[in-house]
Amino acid sequence: MGNQVKHLLIILSILILSSPVIGEDTGVLYQYETSTGIKWETFGDEKVQPKYEGDISNGKPNGFGVLTYPNDEKNVVGEWKNGKYDGQVILTFLDGEKYEGEFKDGLKHGQGTYTWNDGEKYVGEYKDEKKNGQGTKIWTNGDMYEGGFKDGRYDGQGTYTWSDGRKYVGEWKDGETKRSWYCHFKGWEVCRRMEGE
């Protein structure tokens, strides 16, 4: 009798752990926005709710998956943890904008590349959805900034290079230049105008 109970417990354990509620499974979920936050359900209409296809654990996206929004307004391909983007993710927007990089708890966090639909690009570090750390911003006219960012603004040591070769090298604070700078080609008056003088 003891072996039968043991076998029964093993079988029950396997069934419970392989259940989509407790174990991990692959399937489809629909995202609902509620007053208390995001909810995931196994039912929905992909013409109304974003549709997730991929790894599921505890009723939420966990692992690798694809989230497609209605009318293709946004697509998300990548890693998920507890129902949020977490790890390497590619976000593609209907207007052509794209982000490829790291996420943590649903926010851009770590190394990433954001490309705007006009061709402008930022390559660098993010923290809590904002540019933070070292990065490079490149404009379609050929201008470029390389250096520090804090809360989405130029901050710390950085170099702004215009497409015609002029250059500002120095300190930035809250997106503004400081006095430790110099310019090439056009002279000091260009840098002073940049600083609002």
- Residue 53 pLDDT > 60: yes
Alpha carbon 5 to chain centroid, angstroms: 50
Confidence of residue 175 (pLDDT cuts 50, 70, 90): confident
pTM (predicted TM-score): 0.77
**Gap between the Cα atoms of 81 and 154, Å rounded:** 31
Alpha carbon 167 to chain centroid, angstroms: 31
Domain boundaries, the chain: 18-117
The confidence score (pLDDT) of residue 156 equals 93
CATH topology of domain 18-117: 2.20.110
Which of residues 59 and 171 earns the better pLDDT score? 59
116-158 pLDDT tens trace: 999 999 999 999 999 999 999 999 999 999 999 999 999 999 9
